[in-house]
Amino acid sequence: MNDNASISWQLATVKDIRVENATVKTFTLSLSHWVAHLAGQYYDIRLTAPDGYQAQRSYSVASEPGQVGEIQLTIENLAEGEVSSFMHEVVEIGDQLEVRGPIGKYFVWQPKRKEPLLLVGGGSGVVPLMAILRHRAAVGAMNYTKLLYSVRSPEHLIYAEELRKMQQEGERLAIHLTYTRSIPEQWAGYQRRVDRAILEELLHTYPETPLAYLCGPDSFVEQVAVHLVNIGLPTASILTERFGPSGS
């Protein structure tokens, strides 16, 4: 994710903390200077130690743009992540954090785009895709949409209950999970890493060429993008966002 020094830092107050799974939490931040973001954008968080040492990381916004005055950041606790560890182990409701955003103009979706959507996420790469799905639902968009979410096991799912409800209630929307390490009992869905066969099967159902949003670890995004190009999806229809190594 690219830095954007032109956006000013501000104080955000932690309004709520929700546990998503054993290693992921969603933080609701109330902003002193709120600006509506676009689905797919991100914020920087900066921590400053008493000796002046600073650590800074970027996190995708999970909430949809209509959530006025606040944002939600869903953060995975990484083993060597200075900021993520602090957020999980130290931060409490009522604390204040330095943030800046929204940042990013490329990996965004706006309702004026009417193309079908193919959203492919690996691990915590589902976060900005959830912002797109939430925004789509909030504005009543009817784009034919599929989410393909690759995750290690049921215990690693993020937004599990919300995704289940979206699958049941969403119009022209399908949620597809693929488990790469362990599966739920009586699971009949995908049970492997995202490959060309899975993508071809999903793309076969689209009424026209979709706009594809891919987010996850570097290797995951690269492999999925190559598969889509080889299948015949135009490169102009493939938008990618990636981060450092993480299993998915």
What's 192's domain CATH number? 3.40.50.80
pLDDT at 14: 98
Same domain? For 126 and 206 the reply is yes
Reported as a single tens digit per residue, the pLDDT across 130-153 is 999 999 999 999 999 999 999 999
Same domain? For 82 and 148 the reply is no
Same domain? For 121 and 97 the reply is no
Rounded Cα distance, 49 and 192, in Å: 43
Domain count, the chain: 2
Q: Which of 103, 130, 152 is the last residue of a domain?
A: 103
Same domain? For 147 and 206 the reply is yes
Q: Residue 110: inside a domain, yes or no?
A: no
Question: Global pTM?
Answer: 0.93
- Residue 39, sorted as left (phi over 0), alpha (psi -120 to 50) or beta, turns out to be beta
Same domain? For 87 and 133 the reply is no
Could you give the angle at the alpha carbon of 82 between the alpha carbons of 81 and 85, nearest 5°?
A: 75
Same domain? For 188 and 237 the reply is yes
Reported as a single tens digit per residue, the pLDDT across 44-102 is 999 999 999 999 999 999 999 999 999 999 999 998 889 999 999 999 999 999 999 99
What CATH code is carried by the domain that includes residue 27?
Answer: 2.40.30.10
Place of tokens 């965004």: 108
Q: Residue 248: inside a domain, yes or no?
A: no
Same domain? For 35 and 131 the reply is no
Q: Quick check: 120 and 223 in contact, CB under 8 A?
A: no
Rounded Cα distance, 14 and 241, in Å: 26
Q: Which of 76, 103, 130 is the last residue of a domain?
A: 103
**How many CB atoms neighbour CB 176 within 10 A?**
18
Same domain? For 21 and 88 the reply is yes
Reported as a single tens digit per residue, the pLDDT across 208-221 is 999 999 999 999 99
Same domain? For 130 and 205 the reply is yes
Same domain? For 43 and 148 the reply is no
Q: Residue 2: inside a domain, yes or no?
A: no
Rounded Cα distance, 45 and 56, in Å: 6
In what side-by-side order are the strands of the sheet with 96-103?
54-60, 42-48, 96-103, 10-21, 24-31, 70-76
Q: What percent of the chain has pLDDT over 70?
A: 96
Rounded Cα distance, 170 and 82, in Å: 37
The arithmetic mean of pLDDT across residues 176-197, rounded, is 95
Same domain? For 97 and 127 the reply is no
Q: Residue 109: inside a domain, yes or no?
A: no
Q: List, in order, residues 6 or more apart from 202 with CB less than 8 Å away.
A: 118, 146, 148, 176
Q: Residue 5: inside a domain, yes or no?
A: no
Identify the domain containing residue 176 by its residue range.
Answer: 117-243
Q: Which of 103, 129, 146 is the last residue of a domain?
A: 103
Same domain? For 145 and 86 the reply is no
Q: Indicate the SS3 state at residue 35.
A: coil
Q: Residue 133: inside a domain, yes or no?
A: yes
Place of tokens 């509506």: 36
- Residue 172, sorted as left (phi over 0), alpha (psi -120 to 50) or beta, turns out to be left
pLDDT at 169: 87
Look at residue 155 and tell me whether its pLDDT is greater than 70. Answer: yes
